[in-house]
Amino acid sequence: MDVSVIFVNYNTISLLKAAVDSVFEHTKNIQFEIIVVDNNSNDNSEIILKKHYGDKIRYMKLSENIGFGRANNKGMEIAKGRNILFLNPDTILLNNALKFLSDFLDHNENAGACGGNLYQKDLSPNFSFMRATPGFLTELNFLTKNFLFRVYFGKSYEFNFTEKPLKVAYVTGADMMVKASVLKETGGFDPDFFMYYEETELSNRINQKGYSIYSIPQAKIIHLEGGSFSCNVNGQERALKSRRIYMQKKYKNKVLIYLININYFFICLMGMAWYFTKKDKEKVGFWKYSIKNFNSI
């Protein structure tokens, strides 16, 4: 088996079906399997998938929602592929992306993981990767609205505008393909993360083992960002907590303090901006929560 495609579903059956259809439609000249790990959804996904695909999909029903990374780990336990593609339900393949990604991993010994170029629904460039891992510089870059990275990395700091593979710090978890042998060596997703930053943390461990991570622009995928989860205050709070967990795992002492202070400064600025403009009550509520509870998240 060349590739195991793992989807994690949580009440996203309409999106998931479109994603699965795109895999079957565009994948050629490669052996693959599709595994759906269901986080205890109530969307009748098992019945619908069975009706439309029969035995073409391997379905794993969980008794509770254990989060994105841990659910993917469950899928890995039964995966047969030489390469494992973690693919979000809110994605749509535009071409034979599985083969482009898998062939690259097969022909590059130093490559541990890779991902394609992600696009918005209107086919405009979408966030696909980052050239640096979260840290002091990325916090500064965030405050400058990517000005620092545009200067240092050029145009391709989060989307590959070249026609060549590009070495990156990590690819987004929406379409992350990893060699099964590398996952066996490094371990799967860290269970401390419920959602967000788990792919970044895994990428760190892959890099620490001496493997590189690449962006493959030939693989083209639409990512309906946010479609597979609720973009509400709870989701944003969870992202902020995962950010804090990641920072604590990677950084120690003064470096961590600097990062937290910079991030806190940004939160205060954004909270004040949204408070005075009052254009988005939901975001105002989130930033108020962040400022009030920052030390506990």
> At 170, which amino acid appears?
Y
**What are the structure tokens assigned to 214, written together?**
């690449």
- The reported pLDDT for the residue numbered 270 is 67
Residues of the chain with pLDDT under 70: 226-236, 252-265, 267-297
CA distance linking residue 65 with residue 227, whole number of Å: 17
- The reported pLDDT for the residue numbered 291 is 62
- The reported pLDDT for the residue numbered 106 is 98
- CA angle at residue 287 from 285 to 292, to 5 degrees? 95
- The reported pLDDT for the residue numbered 297 is 47
pLDDT tens-digit map of 185-208: 999 998 988 888 899 999 999 999
- The reported pLDDT for the residue numbered 230 is 47
131: number of CA atoms within 13 Å, CB side? 18
How do the domains of the chain map onto residue ranges? 3-223, 251-296
Q: Look at residues 30, 8, 170 and name the one whose alpha carbon lies nearest to residue 102.
A: 30
- 8 contacts 77 by C-beta, under 8 angstroms: no
CA distance linking residue 255 with residue 258, whole number of Å: 5
DSSP 57: E
Structurally, at CATH architecture level, domain 3-223 sits in Alpha-Beta Complex (3.90)
- The reported pLDDT for the residue numbered 182 is 97
- The reported pLDDT for the residue numbered 78 is 97
- The reported pLDDT for the residue numbered 129 is 96
3-state secondary structure at position 37: strand
- The reported pLDDT for the residue numbered 142 is 76
